[in-house]
A = this chain, B = another copy of it.
Amino acid sequence: MKNNIDLNEMGLCQMLRAIEEGVCTTEALIDACFDRIEARESDVGAWQIKRTRDEYLAYYQANKAFFDASLLKGLPLGVKDIIDTQEMPTEMGSPIHVGRQPVEDATCVALIRAAGGIVLGKTVTTEFAYFKPGKTKNPADLERTPGGSSSGSAAAIADNMVPMALGSQTAASVIRPAAYCGAIGYVGSRGEFSLRGGQPLAQSLDSLGLFARHVEDIQFLRAILLRQPVSIAENKSVAPKCVMVCHGDSVGETSSAMKDATEKALQLLKSQGVKVIELDAGNRIKDMVNHHVNIMAWEVCRNLAIESFQKNQLSDPLAALMEQGLNMDRSTYIESLQAAQACQEWLWRHAPEADVILAPAASDIAPLGHGATGAPHMSRPWQAMGLPVINVPGMTDENAVPLGLQLVGKYREDDALLGHAGWLKELLN
């Protein structure tokens, strides 16, 4: 095995390079992924529905010439079960949509399939990408929640079941599970990717998410989704000149383990000659948490109108969120939208020299138990502002449970963000 890791543990681009260099075959990589899934799925529960190994290999063999000539070579993809797939149901974690079979692939799925990816299966989502957990457990510690809502995608990546997975974030649905499980999770700037076929929760907040084990894999997949030139060779890491730090206390409650991790990262940055400035935002960021909730409540009960008419099939938290949105004055919603826009503009006026913001990706390690998915407040402000974000794994608490740090980029400067994230990940590992 290359670098003493099992085949299935390689990152996407590592796998592609191994195929290109003749180190191993695509079939061997596919087999290694299925070996891992067979060994671990009964514990982890990342998958809502999936192809069997035989089905997958038959599909691959039937189109082998296409896959061999493709960018992604027929490697497996996990797709959050809120994203439509033509060949598998999309049930959104809800009894309302059991067996629901979409007419066509979501655009993100279609683009990855056209580039030679194969949908291995649909990954577990919380109910409508909100709070009610599915069956997934945290692969880093099965007693803990994987976080939500992209629970299955984060777990499948962290547990080395597949090298790439799709998710979505409206509040904290990519960053939090990535932080809890120890995966890379990237959320694009608002509007960056086509959301066609991704079932919406809140139009002013929804973003597509990508999960992988290396930043270069995220860069590769991003290029495919944007129909841009791709390369598996280039090292695209870039050291930031200046990082603005948002301590957890600026957002809400944060554990001492997370405070220590943030502080340790700061010292590491300084040791590399990176200028570190503090985000001194008063209550601005904290206020964004409530503004985010307002925007989400208003929009969810209107986007999910069909489901809101079947209230007895909804979880209590989702029904309560809808109720909040239906009872809200429109002026409250509009004020929250305006506040989010104003805060986004203020942020980078406040510190124009900062390349990125460093912040805790969650308030703590993943909580024990599987009845809830943990607190989302650390993500709400950035998501309200529509900024690109990435969880950079590497830190842990004293028991080796993952602690996530997130980098937040300027609006639509996703490429710069990913470059800095690649550099930070190397620094933390």
Q: Is the CB of B196 within 8 A of A200?
A: yes
Q: For residue A330, which residues in chain B have a CB less than 8 angstroms away from its CB?
A: 226, 228
CB of A305 within 8 A of chain B? Answer: yes
Q: Which of A199-245 contact B (CB under 8 A)?
A: 199-200, 203-204, 225-228
Q: Which of A294-331 contact B (CB under 8 A)?
A: 299, 301-306, 309, 326, 330
CB of A427 within 8 A of chain B? Answer: no
Q: For residue A302, which residues in chain B have a CB less than 8 angstroms away from its CB?
A: 107, 111, 193-194, 225-227
Q: Which residue of the partner chain, among B103, B111, B194, B337, contacts A203 with CB atoms under 8 Å? A: B194
Q: Which of chain B's residues has its CB closest to A201's CB?
A: B196
Q: For residue A228, which residues in chain B have a CB less than 8 angstroms away from its CB?
A: 330
Q: Which residue of the partner chain, among B102, B111, B191, B204, contacts A103 with CB atoms under 8 Å? A: B102
Q: Which residue of the partner chain, among B102, B227, B299, contacts A194 with CB atoms under 8 Å? A: B299
Q: Is the CB of B227 within 8 A of A326?
A: yes
Q: Is the CB of A305 within 8 A of B200?
A: no
The CA of A304 and the CA of B330, in the complex, are separated in Å by 33
Q: Could you tell me how many residues of chain A have their Cβ less than 8 Å away from some Cβ of chain B?
A: 36
Q: Is the CB of B227 within 8 A of A305?
A: yes
Q: Is the CB of B105 within 8 A of A306?
A: yes
CB of A100 within 8 A of chain B? Answer: yes
Contact with B along A316-355 (1 / 0, CB 8 A): 0000000000100010001001000000000000000000
Which are the 7 A-B pairs with shortest beta-carbon distances?
A194-B303, A110-B306, A196-B200, A194-B302, A107-B305, A111-B305, A110-B305
